[in-house]
Amino acid sequence: MTNRSTTDGSTTERSTYAADPGRRPARALLTALLGCVLPLLSVLLLAVAPPASAASLTEVTDFGSNPSGLRMHLYVPAGAGERPAVLVAVHYCTGSGPAFYSGTEFASLADRYGFIVIYPSATRSGNCFDVSSPQALRRDGGSDPVGIRSMVGYVQQHYGSDPGRVFVAGASSGAMMTNVLLGNYPDVFKAGAAFMGVPHSCFATTDGSGWNSACANGTVDRTPQQWGGLVRAAYPGYSGARPRMQLWHGTEDATLRYPNLNEEIDQWTDVLGVSRTPASTDSPQSGWTRTRYGSSGAQAPVEAISVQGVGHSLPASGMAARAIAFFGLDSSTPTDPGPGTDPTPANCRVAYTTSAWNTGLTATITLTNTGTTPLTGWSLAFTLPTGQTITSGWGATYSPAGGAVTATGLAYNATLAPGAAVQIGFQANHTGNTGKPSAFTVGGAACGTG
């Protein structure tokens, strides 16, 4: 059984483990007999023991640009299918990736739903992540966020993960990093869940210190527009879709105090362009107050959960599953059904036309929602023929430029009503093959074509 007190700053964060005491023989004779018998029992037990699970936590030591020397641990469940989703799970101060793996429910949820989990480990003093330096608070600035982005790229390259389904969840220092990552890399992360965090740039310092007492104490109060401006300044000029955010905080948090929750709500409602007035308020569990902004659905643009009477000790049991549901990962990852089997169709249809010349082409894509409910936050995945490389695009963000591409809707067209269509497209170079992708998927399920 694991008990963890999760804090930042001067308070110690730790895990304590209770071990069952071994049975002690009452007589010396029994001790002698056991000395003879135990080696034989060990051999027998090895012979009949069940095989270990195929999935285990492994360390990756060379994953790309890593200016601050982070460590990377990876959990790939046995049930991960093709193009699996990725979750980055970020630990608290004094913690580590392996400790967060052992002390949270994300790995067991990955076993159930087939997504890959990345566990970064901070290596600076106190094992806190850098969320305060100028380098950390801008895209590709040269600190911890760069290393974490490299980890995501490593998994995409080596495991063929879906670049349109990358998420991040963190606790305390990891929650602050969640806010930072969503601001610095809105084109990488689809959504985040921050357990006991503070807004992006709230912890900023200029004296080299990693601790900002005013922010931690909840006394930094800015307008939604000011908070939103700090996020936008992390990636100047970016105009694509922004990730959704789920926020958690205990009302009695004495480490990163509760007023920070309202400041986070101010920031992300402004960034996502939704009203600060809740679209819905409910209590999904005793002592919880949940507010949703921008819509009342399970995957609202912003969702905040206040936990009454609780201090700096999240996530508690069951909360990780709520985050996974917010991400939309609470169903088995679709896998390739094999030759001769038609995949389950999604509620979408794609029309694709091209106009080619010498070494270039223009592609026009029309995505139609054929379902009966809105298609929210869509990402359209397809594989370009060999030799085609996207040079520019419109109506969506495209990543990467060749091979297995994901086109993600922008803020103005990310939601398609039933029966509605959106037209997007791109220009590409080619080396002779001007053909079309053979299939298109939304959320891992195949769209109809024509």
Q: Which residues are catalytic?
A: 172
H or E element in which residue 159 lies: helix 144-159
Helix, strand, or coil here: 126?
Answer: helix
Q: What φ, ψ does residue 211 adopt, rounded to 5°?
A: -125, 130
CB 89 within 8 A of CB 75: no
Backbone torsion region of residue 56, taken as left when φ is above 0, otherwise alpha when ψ lies between -120 and 50, otherwise beta: beta
